[in-house]
Amino acid sequence: MDLVSVLRLSLLLDAYGALLTPKQVSVLNSYINFNGSLSEIALELNVTRQAVGDLIRRTNKLLENYEAKLKLLEKLNKTRALIFKADNASSGEPKCASNKLESELEGIWGK
């Protein structure tokens, strides 16, 4: 996996990790956050490298499916962009600008 894929997997794990089994979280944590190789993780779990690789691929696909349906990362990125835009706006913005920002956030997250 390239660095961008690993970073995305890490973000997906943060967003949807509570929906995974403890084993799935443990394996992904070892792989992503502790830079564990398939061999090291397999040795720790007493399974084959192939089993670890399959678990990572299946879990990655599951997390991508969650994101396709729930779009939490997409909403988070849009929210960050709005916050950045608001932070860079002058502090003397009229009340209507604040209302517009609130309206845009409601559009992203709903009421």
Taking CA atoms, 88 is separated from 45, 97, 98, in Å, by 49, 13, 13
The structure's pTM equals 0.80
CA 82 to chain centre: 19
Architecture of domain 3-70: Orthogonal Bundle (1.10)
Which tens digits make up the pLDDT trace of 39-78? 999 999 999 999 999 999 999 999 999 999 999 999 998 8
Could you tell me if 12 and 62 are in contact, meaning their C-beta atoms sit under 8 angstroms apart? Answer: no
